[in-house]
Amino acid sequence: MCGIVGYIGTQQAAPLIVSGLKRLEYRGYDSAGVCIISDSGARIEKKAGRVADLEKYVDISSMTGTVGVGHTRWATHGVPNDVNAHPHTDQSGSIALVHNGIIENYLTIKKKLLNAGYTFRSETDSEVLAVFIGMLYETLQDMELAVRTALSEVEGTFGLVVLSTHEPDMIIAARRGSPLILGIGNGEYLVASDAAAVISHTRQVVYLNENEMAILRRDGFSTKTIENVDTRSVVEEISFELEQIEKGGFEHFMLKEIFEQPTTFHDGFRGRLQIDAGTVKLGGLASVADKLRAAKRIIITACGTSWHAGLVGEYLIEHLARVPVEVEYASEFRYRNPIIHSDDIVIAISQSGETADTLAAIREAKLKGATVIGMVNVVGSTIARETDAGVYLHAGPEIGVASTKAFTSQLCVLTQFALYLGRMRSLSSEQGREVALGLANIPAQIRSILDRSEEIRSIALEYANVSNFLYLGRGYNFPAALEGALKLKEISYIHAEGYPAAEMKHGPIALIDAELPVVFIAPKDEIYDKILSNIEEVRARSGKVIVIADEDDTHIHTVANHVIRVPRTLPMLAPILASIPLQLLAYYIAVERGCNVDMPRNLAKSVTVE
């Protein structure tokens, strides 16, 4: 959510910042701006729209100087326009700031500043902070002190970078609730909201901690808390390769990421799955193994797609380990004073590892004494660092705003977690082996579905102009139906609902007419006959039926308008295979409708605000 790139070094900063911003655009893309500090002062250029629009508006190479900062915005306060775009400046125009997060008490601060005669151009909370820092500088005459003093009065969240013509050879960065990393180059330093922006310059990074500030100068950097206590920074290596954040010949990141799933799924169990012993080795959980063995209840908390994965996790864990599981939206959990016991295990699932609600939920759970486990994709992210133990997804960077490969990797990790817990309890090695073998077969099965993507595309083309979609599944496939509907609505803007198939008759059946496509997920499991009845109910009302069915189902084509066949697997693994055609269906429909699938309107990857 909002991309930040700052640079201080020997190279021209502007082109370097703009190329970094392009790599961060998936974090927010409603406006972009750059500030370069040089001997002639602070030059700021900003524009509503994408980074490419900014480039059309200004010749970036004409912005000369070796210190600067850039920003791509996802609007919180104020519509996306040129004025509300970042960077923002103080009243004198000599201090520039970019900000990710929300200043909750900005109205109180703004009122004080207005009373003191300061004026504002934008509707943003961020400009208030810039003006506030400027006011403090007037008396303190020290940029670092002015920023620190301002931040001590601020309530809310920030990942911010401040530059100034008063002290032009310095960048100040600070974080609370919004990630920032420092890139340590050779005689040059970067600061960014995401490793993707720095990897083409350096692999050496420092992850700023909560409430930490960094002062970057031409000859080095230091870190300290916002309260001015020096901190020790640990330089780490970025864990992915540059080509992983490039499109690699695909039209969209989303399509690339869908097609990566045979590999990413395999990476999720490589070195973990022990097929012969029917178990799994999860090194990241060793320190909490005793707590897991004694756990009376598991609470899974997450948002969006990760929450859907959590619902599958509930079924998996209760099935394989017989431990009761509750799944909670993190945004609800954090505020409802949840009842948590010290022998509860809370699992936070997050692709980005930065989702503000999920982060707040784990803090609440920790405060109340639970053991908190992270299932996170982004290495070094805040959730990964704040949880007691964890299992990485190893899906590699996910750039497409709609989550695809992270979802299947979450299911991969959740299945292994359930297996691990089950084998600690009553699951036999024979039962464990069956699950492990099923998992090991998934990458090849995903590949075989991807090989039939053209079939799915031709179905998609028939339905690209409808206004509504219904997705139905039962048991393990109910969350897959929810996820299928979410994928479609977020990238194609078609209204779509997911439901447990049997719930259809309690309301959604009223929607069914000859215009409504209904997607069923109907593998041949023990509730297959029940779902056939639900299909008949839709047919009886002239609804269009699209079914994801087993490849050896010889009956299903007689009751469906379209059948998308997937290989047979264990019922508990069926949502993994079902999600591949659902992702492709959504993708091809959205492309046909001319939507920007990688950057859908109003969305952003990594939701670091409440």
State the residues that interact with ligand F6R by CB under 6 A.
303-306, 350-352, 355, 358, 402-403, 486, 490, 606-607
CB of 305 to ligand F6R, least distance (A): 3
CB of 605 to ligand F6R, least distance (A): 7
CA distance 28 to 310: 26
Structural element, H or E, at residue 38: strand 31-38
Catalytic annotation present for 35 = no
CB of 470 to ligand F6R, least distance (A): 19
Query: Residue type at 555?
Result: H
User: Of the two residues 124 and 352, which places its CB atom closer to ligand F6R in the complex?
Assistant: 352
User: Of the two residues 264 and 306, which places its CB atom closer to ligand F6R in the complex?
Assistant: 306
CA dihedral (61, 63, 65, 69) positive or negative: negative
Of residues 2, 35, 412, 595, which has the active-site annotation? Answer: 2
User: Of the two residues 163 and 607, which places its CB atom closer to ligand F6R in the complex?
Assistant: 607
CA distance 106 to 159: 16
CA distance 226 to 418: 41
User: Of the two residues 126 and 404, which places its CB atom closer to ligand F6R in the complex?
Assistant: 404
Of residues 22, 110, 544, 605, which has the active-site annotation? Answer: 605
- Give the burial string for 65-99 (b: 16+ CB within 10 Å, else e): bbbbbbbbbbbbbbebbebbbbbbbbbeebbbbbb
CA distance 102 to 106: 9
Nearest residue to ligand F6R by CB is 304
CB of 493 to ligand F6R, least distance (A): 14
φ, ψ dihedrals at 32, nearest 5°: -145, 150
User: Of the two residues 212 and 354, which places its CB atom closer to ligand F6R in the complex?
Assistant: 354
φ, ψ dihedrals at 444, nearest 5°: -65, -35
CA distance 208 to 484: 36
CB of 302 to ligand F6R, least distance (A): 6
Instruction: With beta carbons less than 8 A apart as the criterion, state whether 560 and 543 touch.
Output: no
User: Of the two residues 355 and 415, which places its CB atom closer to ligand F6R in the complex?
Assistant: 355
CA distance 295 to 300: 13
Catalytic annotation present for 47 = no
Instruction: With beta carbons less than 8 A apart as the criterion, state whether 350 and 333 touch.
Output: no
Instruction: With beta carbons less than 8 A apart as the criterion, state whether 586 and 492 touch.
Output: yes
CB of 583 to ligand F6R, least distance (A): 10
User: Of the two residues 95 and 582, which places its CB atom closer to ligand F6R in the complex?
Assistant: 582
CA distance 165 to 57: 24
DSSP string, 249-292: T-SSHHHHHHHTHHHHHHHHHTTTEETTTTEE--GGGGGGHHHH
CB of 282 to ligand F6R, least distance (A): 20
Cβ-based neighbours of 235, under 8 Å, separated by 6 or more = 184, 204, 205, 206
CB of 404 to ligand F6R, least distance (A): 8
Q: Which residues pair with 163 in a beta bridge?
A: 96
User: Of the two residues 350 and 371, which places its CB atom closer to ligand F6R in the complex?
Assistant: 350
Catalytic residues: 2, 605
